[in-house]
Amino acid sequence: MPELPEVETVCRGLALRLTGQRLVHVEVRRADLRLPMPADFAARLTGRRVERIGRRAKYILIHLDDGAVVIGHLGMSGRLCVLPEDAPPGAPGTHDHVAFRTEDGVRVVYTDPRRFGLLTLTVTAQLGEHPLLKELGPEPLDAAFTAAVLQARLRGRRVPLKAALLDQGVVAGLGNIYVCEALYRARLSPNRQAGTVTDAQAKRLVAAIKQVLSAAIEAGGSTLRDYVQADGELGFFQNQFAVYGRAGEPCRTPGCRGVIERQVQAGRSTYACPVCQK
């Protein structure tokens, strides 16, 4: 589900409700997520205050007042939701794996039917060296992510451009949807060899990536099935998809007579206009 814009939206929602709050109760109902949760997860969080919520690529980072950091990932179907204040206590759902409560009664639930997501712990001093984070490429919305940087990372690579952009070590946070959308906006074919991208094309591609991610964040992310924001609201960027999920429909580029095609690359659907993406 969630790519960078969805994770960013969730982080902002959590920050609004959790920053400064002390966790008074943490319940782990299922610890066998993609990675097993640390046995002392609940104990290490209980009594700690949330200092701030950050994000790296598709990882949610919850910084606590003792230097501990919760690393969260939503996988394909994960949600991290703040319950409405008037929500009844009620029995937890089948896939509600972790529940948090703060001293002010704010309740947050981690739900993940497929359990491709994870929640784990590290400390601030080791954050950069954490195995989940240390190989990640640049943040696409950082000013430091430039055409020259992207081109250097693509140089010599013979994989299809789409596969290279999905590689979190090349650029961090893109997933299947936003790679397709960015390639469309940059008018580049998902099939071309990554290393063949020219200066001018890299420039277009970086601009397209930044634009599509920013627009998606502004729209609260994209909701296809599982994704919701931290407050349970849906995202609505899916209404602005130019290619994703539009196989057989006309290309939206003015004057282009192309029809969006779906193909399968490395087992995943790619959508592109064969006419205007070269």
Partner DNA sequence: CACGAACCCTGGCTGC
Partner DNA sequence: TGCAGCCAGGGTTCGT
- Residues with a catalytic annotation lie at 2-3, 58, 268
The closest of 136, 218, 128 to 172, measured between CA atoms, is: 136
- Least separation in angstroms between residue 116's CB and DNA is 4
- Least separation in angstroms between residue 233's CB and DNA is 12
92-129 burial by CB neighbour count: b if 16+ within 10 A, else e?
A: eeebbbbbbbbeeebbbbbbbbebebbbbbbeeeebee
For DNA, the closer of residues 77 and 102 by Cβ is 77
Which whole-number Å values give the CA distances from 53 to 14, 15, 179, 217, in the listed order?
A: 7, 6, 26, 16
The residues binding DNA (CB under 7 A) are 1-3, 6, 34, 57-58, 73, 75-77, 94-95, 113-116, 132, 156-160, 163, 166, 168, 175-177, 221-227, 235, 265-269
**Which DSSP state fits 93?**
P
- Least separation in angstroms between residue 10's CB and DNA is 10
158-195 burial by CB neighbour count: b if 16+ within 10 A, else e?
A: ebbbbbbbbbbebbbbbbbbbbbbbbbbbbbbbbbebe
Three-state secondary-structure class, residue 237? helix
For DNA, the closer of residues 23 and 109 by Cβ is 109
**Which DSSP state fits 247?**
T
- Least separation in angstroms between residue 86's CB and DNA is 25
Rounded Cα–Cα distance for residues 7 and 2 (Å): 6
Amino acid at 3: E
- Signed CA dihedral, 158, 176, 213, 81: sign only: negative
For DNA, the closer of residues 82 and 235 by Cβ is 235
For DNA, the closer of residues 86 and 239 by Cβ is 239
- Least separation in angstroms between residue 230's CB and DNA is 13
For DNA, the closer of residues 179 and 202 by Cβ is 179
Q: How many residues does the chain have?
A: 278
Rounded Cα–Cα distance for residues 100 and 28 (Å): 9
For DNA, the closer of residues 1 and 82 by Cβ is 1
Tokens of 101: 């409560």
- Least separation in angstroms between residue 76's CB and DNA is 5
